[in-house]
Amino acid sequence: MSSLADLIDTRKDTAITSATSGLVVKAQDFLQGTSKIIRSFSLLGKLGLAVILFFVILAVFAPYVSVHPYNLSSGAPLMPPGGEHFLGTDDLGIDIWAQLCRGAKISLIVGLGTALLAGLGGGLIGIVSGYVGGILDKFLMRLIDIMLVIPDFPVMILLAAFLGPRLINIILVLALFSWVSSARIARSQILMLKEKTYIKSAELYGAGTWYLMRKHFLPEIFPLIAVQMIRLTGRAIISEAGLSFLGLGDPTSKSWGLTIHYATSFRGIYFTEFWKWWLLYPWLFLTLMVTSLAFVSRELEQFADPRVKK
Amino acid sequence: MRQKTRTKFIEYAITIWVVITLNFLLPRLIPGDPFLILTSQDAEDEEIVLSEEQREFLFQYYGLDQPVYKQYFIYLRELVRGNMGFSVYYKQPVSQIVMHRLPWTIFMVLSAVFLSTLIGTILGCLSAWHREKWVDKSLFLFMIIFSEIPSFLLGLILLFVFAAGLGLFPLAGAVTHFADFQSGWEKIWDVIHHAFLPVTALTISHLGGTYLLGRNSMTTVLEKDYLRTAWAKGLPKKRVIFRHALKNALLPIVTRVFLSLGSLVGGAILVENVFSYPGLGTLMRESVRVQDYPVIQGIFLVVTICVLVANFFADVVYRKIDPRVSS
């Protein structure tokens, strides 16, 4: 009797220790995996990652990194870089560096918001479409075909113009036109996986939809969607900048695109030196961010999908 | 083959119908009174309240008292006749304004498509022939960096460096106004001089995609058996490259040319605004600024339908030139 109790006891113990050690091992695996992936990046990929990290830190610590307010005048208008305002000020005397820190935050919110909505939403639509099949699949595929051929930027302008310039509206509009790619990826993966023998046998053993989803489909599809989401982040940031540049951005948001919009709308911008700080720095930040995201997603693609090689 | 073309046609027709219907529904789904904006010029202005009779007259005048399905049929009928409404701000029919601006946009987009395809293909093939040598490596690096920069950002820096800074190119517009041209050539030169920077910005940002596709497609073709046969037969280098390799490598590029028109048009709208080029893009920004919704909708409709029609023809042409697809 006592031996049985002992056995149960030790079993419990080992179960607990294995659970915790399993977690530790998983965390270690994750860290090792990440560092391995990063180490195998090319120089461009590493640079891109560093730039993105820099902007994330800038966005998170925006209020601490910049002394001056981003929405209030804090000096003489159009001061050149140097001294207290080390990237200069704009025509209202607002510190450019403060605006750019704020812009990093807005860019990340727009990029990540759109990517999460479009990536997860699109992925879900793709999974359902591929798994359920039938009329629903046909309908969704036609819808995707239509979405693919419609030029998205004009529609975005139309929608943004009608919905009004609010950050949440812009994120929604961008997401509405970005889910298609993730849905297609998820669907094609599901269609392929459904025919695999191990899925078939799991089904024969009575695995339900939810079980299959959790155990087999999601782990296979998630890396692909994750890479796609990084790409979507970059595209969303570009589109937001484009809309803001056209004057359709949220006027309270102070995104990089909006700063560029104000700078280029300034009458004397072409004939003065002001562009050398007012326009150049937001331009530089935007370009660096967008290209870095593209490089990192390009590098990650090789890990998520072994078929894609250089 | 006929059958396939017909299904494609129906698909595109449905897409165009969806776009038109969206265009019809959108303003009607948005809450608000259309005559409120018409009567008060500024947001800060006091809203001018119309009397009940005036309101009714306006609703009747614009046909808004009819049931929605009737409005829809009227909308379709007028659209077929080429009537896209009346601009609130410009006080002109929308179709007239749009048609006046459309040629400039088409000119810019087509030149960018042509140039980026030509240069991209040549460089891509060059890269594939010198694979893993320094030509290939440096081209590849250059292309993946520049293809990721959006065209309007590229345009901005080109504008400030070459037009504002160095003064090599004009700052805005498509022609020199009030200029007296001695000959037709001078006029053409003037147009090219104005279009050079915007077209360059669009071309460079579009080049990368074509280049990568050309490089990949050429590399696969070069490894094919029939190419080894061609070399083994002792054909001259020129004949192998142009007759055997290039012809086959071009196929995927042709589809890309047309399918990328949509994104190119999006880029063109922004680039036009950078250079104040008098196409549809600048018109769109102006009408967004003054909230001239009929014009925004008109531009959207014309641009979308142009892109869709181009895509449809791409499909047909592609099937004609690649016999493998139609069989």
Q: What ipTM was predicted for this assembly?
A: 0.81
Give A291's contacts in chain B (Cβ within 8 Å).
Answer: 145, 148-149
* pLDDT mean over B51-72: 78
Does the pLDDT at position B326 exceed 90?
Answer: no
Question: How high is the pLDDT of residue A96?
Answer: 81
Of all helices (H) and strands (E), which one includes residue B188? helix B184-222
* pLDDT mean over A204-217: 86
Number of domains in chain A: 1
For residue B91, what are its two tokens? 């006080």
Q: Domain range for residue A252?
A: 41-67+86-304
**Closest-CA residue in chain A for B286?**
A246
Give B300's contacts in chain A (Cβ within 8 Å).
Answer: 154-155, 157-158
Does any domain span residue A3? no
Of all helices (H) and strands (E), which one includes residue B107? helix B94-129
Question: How high is the pLDDT of residue A250?
Answer: 82
CA–CA distance, B56 with B50 (Å, rounded to integer): 9
Does any domain span residue A32? no
CA–CA distance, A282 with A257 (Å, rounded to integer): 8
User: What CATH number did the domain enclosing A281 receive?
Assistant: 1.10.3720.10
Question: How high is the pLDDT of residue A310?
Answer: 39
Does any domain span residue A74? no
Which of residues B323 and A150 earns the better pLDDT score? Answer: A150
The rounded Cα A274 to chain-centroid distance in angstroms is 32
Question: How high is the pLDDT of residue A2?
Answer: 47
128-157 of B, contacting A, C-beta below 8 A: 141, 144-145, 148-150, 152-153, 156-157
Instruction: Say what angle helices B293-321 and A134-149 make with each other, to 10 degrees.
Output: 110
Sign of CA dihedral B298, B299, B301, B305: positive
pLDDT tens readout for residues B111-169 = 999 999 999 999 998 888 888 888 888 888 888 888 888 888 898 888 888 887 787 78
Q: Is the Cβ pair B288, A264 closer than 8 Å?
A: no
CA–CA distance, B153 with B270 (Å, rounded to integer): 9
Which residue, among B202, B35, B194, B213, has the nearest Cα to B125 in the 3D structure?
Answer: B213
Q: Which amino acid is present at A147?
A: M
Q: Which amino acid is present at B61?
A: Y
Does the pLDDT at position A285 exceed 80?
Answer: yes
Does any domain span residue A111? yes
Does any domain span residue A14? no
pTM for the whole thing? 0.83
Does the pLDDT at position A118 exceed 90?
Answer: yes
Q: Is the Cβ pair B288, A247 closer than 8 Å?
A: yes
CA–CA distance, A187 with A209 (Å, rounded to integer): 15
Does any domain span residue A182? yes
**Closest-CA residue in chain A for B160?**
A270
Does the pLDDT at position B25 exceed 90?
Answer: no
CA–CA distance, A71 with B5 (Å, rounded to integer): 56
Does any domain span residue A141? yes
Question: How high is the pLDDT of residue B68?
Answer: 82
The CB density around residue B39, as the number of other CB atoms within 10 Å, is 14
- CA angle, B10 then B16 then B18, to 5°: 105
Does any domain span residue A72? no
Instruction: Say what angle helices B261-274 and A152-163 make with each other, to 10 degrees.
Output: 60
CA–CA distance, B288 with A163 (Å, rounded to integer): 12
